[in-house]
């Protein structure tokens, strides 16, 4: 399956996105990218231990604290933190059976984490902006 076909399928199939590292600062991509996706009809769940809420939505300190089903985990954290975040995602998936996709934003990569996620049956994208890919594949 081509990357474009896989990306399009993810956007069409899944609607709930947990955003690990979502920012309270409207000038940061970690704020305006999920805000854009929310405006396109996606349900956003902020994950940020230093915020009670972001864009009017309750924020959670970690993945295990989220009661809702997570379909996509969108990550805005440095590459050196990805291994631990993916481990946390795999632990949650083994307990709750959710997290179908892990998406690392532009500039964020971890090949070991990609391999671990894909071995667990999770679709994995890295070094791609969700907002840019949405706009490219679904022009207004």
User: pLDDT for 52-69, tens place per residue?
Assistant: 999 999 999 999 999 999
- What the block records as the tokens of 126 is 């890295």
Domain tally, the chain? 1
Domain harbouring 80, CATH code? 3.40.50.720
Q: Does 1 score more than 90 pLDDT?
A: no
Cα–Cα distances (Å) from 135 to 17, 19, 77, 86, 129, in that order, read: 17, 18, 22, 26, 10
Share of the chain above pLDDT 90, in %: 96
Mean pLDDT over 20-24 rounds to: 98
Domain that holds residue 28: 3-137
β-strands 101-104, 72-75: how paired?
parallel
Q: What is the pLDDT of residues 105-131, one digit of tens each?
A: 999 999 999 999 999 999 999 999 999
The Cα–Cα gap between 89 and 3 comes to: 22
């Amino acid at each position: 399956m081509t990357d474009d076909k896989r990306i399009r399928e993810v956007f069409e199939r899944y609607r709930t996105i947990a955003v690990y590292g979502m920012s309270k600062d409207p000038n940061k991509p970690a704020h305006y990218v999920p805000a854009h996706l929310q405006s396109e009809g996606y349900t956003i769940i902020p994950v940020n231990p230093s915020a009670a809420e972001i864009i009017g939505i309750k924020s959670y300190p970690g993945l295990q604290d989220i009661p809702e089903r997570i379909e996509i985990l969108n990550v805005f954290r440095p590459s050196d933190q990805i291994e631990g975040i993916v481990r946390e995602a795999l632990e949650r998936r083994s307990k709750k059976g959710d997290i179908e996709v892990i998406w690392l934003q532009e500039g964020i990569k971890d090949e070991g984490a990609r391999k671990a996620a894909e071995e667990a049956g999770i679709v994995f994208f890295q070094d791609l902006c969700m907002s840019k890919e949405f706009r490219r594949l679904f022009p207004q």
